[in-house]
Amino acid sequence: MLKKIFGSFSKDIGVDLGTANTLVYVKDKGIVIDEPTVVAINVRTEQILAIGKDAKMMMGKTPAYIQVTRPLVGGIISDFEVTEKMLRFFIDKIHKDSFTFIPRPRVVIGVPLDITEVERKAVEDAVRSAGAREVHVVEEPMAAAIGARMPINEALANLVVDIGGGTTDIAVISLSGIVTWKSIKIAGDELNKNIIQYAREVFNLLIGEGHAEDVKNKIGAAFDSTGEELEFPLRGRDLITGLPREVFITSSQVHESMQRSIAIIIDNIKSVLEITPPELMADIHERGIVLTGGGALLRGLDKAIAIATEIPVRVADDPLTCVVRGTGFLLENLELLRIVELQNSR
């Protein structure tokens, strides 16, 4: 009874703990935090100096005593302590204008499909240590499908491809459950690495990850139907002279650098389709594929997948926030949460 009374006063939150970005949804308020999953630490004092956008701006620009770290790799917690501090910072930020006796929040958080029990327990423990009262873990494609307002509880196939920073999750959902799925470590971060590698091999130029991401966002394309050639300045260190240098990279060169990774994503979508039951395949052919996650914003990716699979493809509305909007919807719908959440490790 007391738990129910406290629960009515708590600020329950939904979290999309992503490799690239962390988004937080607060019940009755919407999305209140959208920050890069980056933390800057003073290694001498173990003090956190910056979190999110401020920390990301420091990447590659710090003295030896400041370490800028990304505590998640491939959607999995790689640094438990830093992840806990980051989550605590976000929870405290949400509650800073509240009374001191406001109870700890109930948290719904998304995780990748291929997460192990140990890795899932690490997520639960980090969220609890950061100040959560209850932790409910859901698979990210399920949360993304709910956030994209797909009818997951009906006897229909919903094929969602959630392309994040560290992982691409492909899932066929029907009757509030995942029927067939695949999860691969080829996603937004890998595309950035492709561009870095291309700059090194073709231009003898060493560029940073942040600059590679800018190139991808500005002129990157998985498929270009316009035929318009775009250019973007590539700045970095010349590997031969060691001096700073600028060259111009074209959109077709960026496409060439990312082509192999995009082909792997498409091949895995085909693999999921091959193991999907025929009745659901008929639904998918009629209803199409939905792309969610930040990677869905890559220009022409929907067309490239549609041509390769011969199935209609659409990008969800605001694909970057689908997972966190899904967790927010589950905060309001406890009956659906009980059906779709993963079994608690405790």
Indicate the annotated binding residues for ATP. 19-21, 165-167, 213-216, 294-297
Instruction: Count other Cβ atoms within 10 Å, centred on residue 294.
Output: 20
Render 79-134 in DSSP notation, one character per residue: -HHHHHHHHHHHHHHHHTTS-TTPPPPEEEEEE-TT--HHHHHHHHHHHHHTT-SE
Task: Tell the residue number behind the tokens 């260190």, with chain if given.
Answer: 237
Residue 306 CA to residue 315 CA, distance in Å, equals 11
Give Cβ neighbours of residue 248 (< 8 Å, ≥ 6 apart).
231, 232, 233, 234
* C-alpha triplet 23, 26, 28: angle, nearest 5°: 140
- Decide: 20 and 37 in contact? Cβ < 8 Å: yes
Q: What share of the chain is helix, strand, coil (3-state, %, to 5)?
A: 40, 25, 30
Q: Which residues are annotated as a binding site?
A: 19-21, 165-167, 213-216, 294-297
Instruction: Count other Cβ atoms within 10 Å, centred on residue 224.
Output: 18
